[in-house]
């Protein structure tokens, strides 16, 4: 999977839980949950969707490694 494809999956997932958000405007190092006002419930929903679309298992201990767009690409990139 290319980075662009992965990014598209991330953006789709974010739009799903925050329909009014414009994820393409996120800076790569911006904290996603704070910026888009995503609560823990919606964030879990987002991770479940990521798991379904990419097949990557994300253990609970790694949730903290998925704070920013950059971090997500770094974490998921090698695994997809």
Partner 1 sequence: MADFVMPSLGADMESATLVKWHVHPGDAVKRGQIIAEVDTDKGIIDVECFQSGIIEKLVIEPGAKIPVGALLAVIQGGEAPVAAVTPVPAPVTIAEVPHIHVSPLAKKIAAELGVDLNKLVGHGTGPGGLIDREDVEQAAKPVFSPKTRVRVSPLARRRAEELHVDVTHIQGSGPDGAIEAADIERAVAPHKPSDAMRRAIAAAMAKSKREIPHYYLQTHIDMSAMLAWLQAENQKRSIKDRLLPVVPLLKALAKALRDVPQLNGFWVDGQHRVSEAIHLGFAISMKGGGLVAPAIHDVDKKSCDELMGDLRDLIPRARSGRLRSSEMTDATITITSLGDLGVETVFGVIYPPQVAIVGLGKIMEQPWAKDGMLGVHPVMTASLAADHRATDGHLGAQFLEALNRHLQTPDQP
Cβ closest to partner 1, residue 25 vs residue 57: 57
CB of 13 to partner 1, least distance (A): 13
Compute how many other C-beta atoms are within 10 angstroms of the C-beta atom of residue 76.
20
Tokens of 34: 């704070």
Beta carbons of 72 and 10 less than 8 angstroms apart = yes
Give the binding site for partner 1 (CB under 8 A). 18-20, 33, 37, 39-41, 44, 47-48, 51, 57-61
* Residue 67 host element (H or E): none
Shortest reach from residue 40's CB to partner 1, in Å: 5
């Amino acid at each position: 999977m290319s980075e662009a494809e992965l990014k598209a999956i991330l953006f789709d997932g974010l739009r799903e839980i925050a329909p009014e958000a414009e994820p393409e405007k996120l800076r790569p190092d911006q904290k996603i949950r704070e910026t888009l006002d995503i609560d823990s419930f919606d964030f879990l929903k987002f991770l479940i969707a990521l798991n379904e679309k990419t097949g990557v298992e994300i253990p609970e201990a790694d949730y903290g490694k998925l704070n920013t767009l950059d971090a997500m690409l770094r974490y998921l990139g090698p695994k997809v």
